[in-house]
Structure 1
Amino acid sequence: MSGIIGKKVGMTSIFDAEGRNIPCTVIEAGPCVVTQVKTEEKDGYSSIQLGYDEAKEKNVTQPLKGHYAKANTTPKRKLVEFSEFENGLNLGDTVTVDIFAEGDYVDVVGTSKGKGFQGVVKRHGFAGVGGQTHGQHNRMRAPGSLGASSWPSRVFKGMRMAGRTGGDRVKIQNLQVLKVYAEQNLLVVSGSVPGAKGSYVILDK
């Protein structure tokens, strides 16, 4: 399995050969630098650590500065480990968007937009309680009964109620790569990707 770190640029749409309008997301993918190569003998498992996006020297700790110096690269803002790449990589090598081709299918991981504290209608899609007649002037977006009476005299764990929404790690699987712009480090994938514009995403083949 191989992958790359990127940044969500935004959404657009393109037309396919049959004239259908397909919604898609533009992702700035890489270039990423190999900052560490882990092996079975030394670390107990094999993986490749990639670094992406330039960070200021003043914002990087001294140990991390040494970590990047070993790879002969500048400090990075995002570090992610991937399982062993199909083609062997060495410390300091660069991974670009060229590892993807049009027609490939990728899994995209991102952090969803945070919505703050929300009610059950927005958080879980509840329909609310009844209509606006029969004296229900303020119950339209209420959760209704929770079902707890003399037994069990408590609320079960996992009950769908109001609470903090969003800001979670979300994986969207099997998005098709529609376009690859190697010179601009851009990737166009079908459908939507979790996160706001400018947020980091991880792409896995």
Structure 2
Amino acid sequence: MSFILGKKIGMTQIFQEDGTVTPVTLVEAGPVTVTQVRVKDKDGYEAVQVGYGNDKKLNKPKGGHLKDLKPLKVLRETKVLNDKKRGDEIDVSAFGIGDKVKVSGFSKARGFQGVVKRHGFHGMPASHGHHHVLRHGGSIGQRFPQHTLKGMRMAGRMGGKRITTRGLKILNIDKENNLLAIKGAIPGRRGTLLEITKI
């Protein structure tokens, strides 16, 4: 198993040999640096911490943690274990064309939205006496039990949540530019930090 951090660049398409067009998402993945290896005797669990990006100004605790390494912007832990040591680098060569991966990232934040956009409600009929309520949600309960039930779909904050998409396939790898071409859509906007794990 392999793990890497990356940044979403955007979507494009790849033409296969038989002429079919496949939509892909381009991800600038790594290189990441191993910053800490957690062991069960000392930390109570096993994990590997990696760092990604370049931080211009480190605070003192982070600077002490990375004192013999380059200044890294983002630190993430993973339970994906390998034989790496502190200071080792992981790049896209850890993955292969055809590998299945799961990708985690934060979805696009859309602010406060109504039930039509947020939950896909159909809205009210446009005639038969309806006015000013075309995009309303309708009834939210009944006389009994005299309170609104938990989980009632209503208007509210939409997006900006951590999403994991599983079973995505790597179609192309550009090792010189640290690029992965992953089939299909990936959560987030351009520049979103992504966690990519081989499954």
Aligned to 1:154: 147
Query: 1:202 offset after TM fit, Å?
Result: 0.3
Partners of 1:109 and 1:54 lie apart in 2 by: 21
Deviation, 1:2, is 2.4
- Which aligned pairs between 1:75-154 and structure 2 lie closer than 5 A? 75-86=71-82, 88-130=83-125, 132-149=126-143, 151-154=144-147
3-state SS, counterpart of residue 81 of structure 1: strand
Q: Quote the Cα distance in structure 2 between the aligned partners of 1:128 and 1:172.
A: 30
Q: Verify the 8 A CA contact 1:33 1:51 in the aligned structure 2.
A: yes
Q: Distance in 2 between matches of 1:104 and 1:169?
A: 23
Moved >2 Å (runs of 4+): none
Alpha-carbon offset, residue 179 of structure 1: 0.3
Is the counterpart of residue 17 in structure 1 residue 31 in structure 2?
A: no
TM-score, length-scaled by structure 2: 0.96
Q: Tell me whether 1:6 sits opposite 2:6 in the alignment.
A: yes
Out of 62, 65, 68, the residue aligned to residue 67 of structure 1 is: 65
Q: SS where residue 53 of structure 2 aligns?
A: strand
- 2:7 is matched by which residue type in structure 1? K
Gaps spanning 5+ residues in structure 2: where?
none
CA contact (8 A) 1:10 1:25 kept: yes
Relative to structure 1, the CA distance from residue 84 to residue 39 in structure 2 (aligned partners, 3 Å threshold; closer, same or farther) is farther
Q: What is aligned with 1:197?
A: 190
The normalised TM-score by structure 1 is 0.93
Q: What RMSD in Å do the two structures reach over aligned CA positions? A: 1.0
8 Å Cα contact 1:117/1:163 also seen in 2: yes
Query: How many percent of aligned residue pairs carry the same amino acid?
Result: 45
* Amino acid in structure 2 at the alignment position of 1:83: K
What's the counterpart of residue 171 of structure 2? 178
Paired residue for 2:34?
34
Structure 2 Cα separation of the partners of residues 163 and 24 of structure 1: 31
SS of 1:175's equivalent in the other structure is: strand
Deviation of residue 135 (structure 1)? 2.2
The question of whether the paired residues in 2 share the 8 Å contact of 1:14 and 1:23 is answered with: yes
CA–CA separation in structure 2 for the residues paired with 1:13 and 1:136: 45
Supply the distance in 2 between the matched residues of 1:14 and 1:47 (Cα, whole angstroms): 36
SS at match of 2:73: strand
The more displaced of 139-148 and 186-195 is 139-148
Q: Distance in 1 between matches of 2:44 and 2:115?
A: 45
Runs of 5+ consecutive residues of structure 1 not aligned to the other structure: none
Question: How many Å apart are 1:115 and its aligned residue?
Answer: 0.5
Work out the CA distance in 2 between the residues paired with 1:160 and 1:140.
17
Number of residue pairs aligned between Structure 1 and Structure 2: 198
